[in-house]
Amino acid sequence: YDEAKAFLDDTAADKREKLVEKLLNSEGWVSHTYNWYADILRATSRLGTDGTRSGVPYLRWLRESIANNKPWNQMTYELLTATGGGWEPGKGAVGYFERDRGMPLDNMANTTRIFLGTHIECAQCHDHPYDKWKQTDFYEMSAFTHGMTTGSNDERKKFVNEKYNGRDNQEQDKTKREIYRWLMDNIYDFGVYGAGDGMIKLPMDFKGKGGKPDELVKAKSLFPGARNGSNRPMDDGREKFAKWVTAPENPRFTLIMANRLWKRALGRGLIEPVESLSPVDRPEQPELFDYLTEMIGRLGFDE
């Protein structure tokens, strides 16, 4: 009541602008936006296929990024290139890959949907039956992050592993063994390492066109802009991929965010489903869509 009355009694011409600034700098805005981003990124408190890894560093990184008004393109770049131990200062973004530990192909399918608004998961097993994507397209995209590993191989991990799961050095006390297991699952075995090879082998049961089982293929983006131009593995596959995804020359990245923001504000995207931007889809109001995408880029993804 007090806030509403103060606003109504305010005679300043810019009182609406001041109210907007106050709301955007409030803890309520951070919390609300954090929930929105956590849903988009599938961020949870427990990570990995078995749910044993703590997602606290990932969630903390996400919340701090929002509180610090970090632009979406910068957040995306950090998510796709983060490396190191998740509990190290500023390294919580590695949780994006830890979320799909042991499932790098599924992670790439989600990456393409989240950041490019394109569903290619069907092409993981065969040429897409309803879209233009081939099975080779899926694996060429996956090559950018191939060779990356999750977890950690440092001495602390080896020590706690021996204590709870080793043979000669195994801790005999059951309670202490459980403590070491908790340390392993929640602290020391949490991280991302490897820059991305830029090359990957097609699966033995490959059924698509343009390749054959066990053939080595090079990284290539779905839309023009990034590829491995050499016959040798890359030493910066993830970085090259992240730069391409977030580049101003890649319109898909801006399109999907514009569509999401419109749905967040008004309850329905200009294109539905909101994360399925087919190359042939056009919104009912193309001029509005073009204006929104231009504005988001002009403002530096500071929505």
pLDDT for res 280 = 55
Distance CA 227, CA 230 (A): 9
Side-chain-side CA neighbours of residue 297 (13 Å): 17
pLDDT for res 219 = 96
31: closest CA among 76, 73, 64, 77? 64
pLDDT band, very low/low/confident/very high, at 299 (cuts 50, 70, 90): confident
Say which residues have a Cβ less than 8 Å from residue 164's Cβ, sequence separation at least 6. Answer: 170, 171, 177, 178, 180, 181, 184
pLDDT band, very low/low/confident/very high, at 303 (cuts 50, 70, 90): low
Asked if 44 and 99 count as a contact pair (C-beta separation under 8 A), the reply is yes
Q: What is the pTM of this model?
A: 0.89
pLDDT in tens, 239-269: 999 999 999 888 899 999 999 999 999 999 9
Peptide bond into 273 cis (omega under 30): yes
pLDDT for res 277 = 79
pLDDT band, very low/low/confident/very high, at 221 (cuts 50, 70, 90): very high
Distance CA 19, CA 189 (A): 45
Q: Compute how many other C-beta atoms are within 10 angstroms of the C-beta atom of residue 5.
A: 9
The burial class, CB within 10 Å (0-12 / 13-18 / 19+), for 182 is middle
**In this structure, what token pair is assigned to residue 77?**
């770049």
> Residue 8 to residues 12, 13, 17, 248: CA-CA distances in angstroms?
10, 12, 14, 42
The residue among 182 and 50 whose pLDDT is bigger is 182
pLDDT for res 279 = 56
Say which residues have a Cβ less than 8 Å from residue 27's Cβ, sequence separation at least 6. Answer: none
Asked if 80 and 96 count as a contact pair (C-beta separation under 8 A), the reply is yes
Side-chain-side CA neighbours of residue 122 (13 Å): 10
Distance CA 274, CA 253 (A): 13
Distance CA 162, CA 178 (A): 12
Beta partners for 216?
201
